[in-house]
Amino acid sequence: MVRQGYLATLVVVGVLLAACSRQSHPERANPQPTSGTSGPVVPLAPTSLIGSWTIVDVADPGAGTILRLADRDLDLIGSRCGTLGGSWRASSDGTFLADIFTAATAAVEGIPGCAKASQETPGWLRRVTAYQFDRAGLPVLLDARAQPVARLIPGATPTPEPDKADDALEPPVLTDEARRALTPAVALPGRLVPVDRHRLTGRWVPLSGHRAAYVTFTADGEWHGSDGCNDESGRWITATSGTLLTTTRGTTLVFCADSVSVGGWLTTARRAGFDGHILVLLDAQGTETGRLLPAN
């Protein structure tokens, strides 16, 4: 989603850091009742996550004060590195994935320790793999052990600052596009074996098309690949029943013949399974969008 008047001030970096420096859980555990809750007593509806939320009960003092979740877009406001931007995904089974990949130039250059703010999702947000709602209907972000990482309180109002986009100040609106993006995915076809993170980790290539096209899923929850001419990257997570969610970062737009839209396949993927040794990606309606072979 293009943000007018803001992209000129953003630093978008697609550099992947070493896996040992990351904290991530690319496979989500099923949410269990957490302290202060008695399980997901409010039905899980990812559209209910759209809003501007005050972040509370997070251990990191520099985590940020407001988490703004709009149609695929995410703004983390009030972090020690200023306003950070990125994207998010969620499913009706309680899976949650966030990715930070932009930061305001002023914050990156002006605050010690923030030079890489646009390169990596903050540790506390990277630990989040799931969500549920407490008895009051408020979102609780959970880690892979179903323990609370942060709680979200509605009605947050960001204050105008030089490093904030205009749209980050306005309450997000639940659009038809957002409803479509967050609609519950149909079940994985019975002929496919549900994807799991151990088997998914590694390098995959499409069955046809440009010979340089590929995607690699790394154990730290990152993916990177190419359509044959343009490098692409993002984050990924799997859950039970073949759930696969991914984020996709910015990319170049170099044309080449026989390119394969690997990034597009992952953007629309909601389920994934194995047909023998072939990885099959499906969208929310169960339509097959791509097939890949293991490269090693």
Domain spans in the chain, listed from the N-terminal domain onward: 8-181, 193-294
| Band (68; pLDDT cuts 50, 70, 90) | very high
Q: pLDDT, tens digit, for every residue of 165-205?
A: 667 678 898 999 999 989 999 999 999 999 999 999 999 99
**Could you please report the per-residue DSSP string of 47-97?**
GGG-EEEEEES-S-TTS-SEEEE-SSEEEEEEETTEEEEEEEEE-TTSBEE
Contact, 228 vs 212, CB < 8 A? yes
pTM of the prediction?
Answer: 0.84
pLDDT of 162 > 70? The answer is no
Class of domain 193-294: mainly beta
Asked whether residue 38 carries a pLDDT value surpassing 80, the answer given is no
**Over the chain, what is the mean pLDDT?**
84
Domain 8-181, classified CATH 3.30.230, yes or no: no
% of the chain residues with pLDDT over 90: 65
pLDDT band at 107 (very low <50, low <70, confident <90, very high): low
| pLDDT at res. 102 | 87
What is the reported pLDDT for 117?
78
Is there a common fold for 8-181 and 193-294? yes
- Model confidence over 232-278: pLDDT tens digits? 999 999 999 999 999 998 777 788 888 999 999 999 999 999 999 99
Which residue from 277, 261, 278 is spatially nearest to 269, judged by alpha carbons? 261
Q: Which residue has the higher pLDDT, 133 or 17?
A: 133
Q: What is the mean pLDDT of residues 213-222?
A: 97
**DSSP string of 162-206?**
TTS-GGGGSPP---HHHHHHTSPPPPPPTTSEEP-HHHH-EEEEE
d(CA 87, CA 90): 11
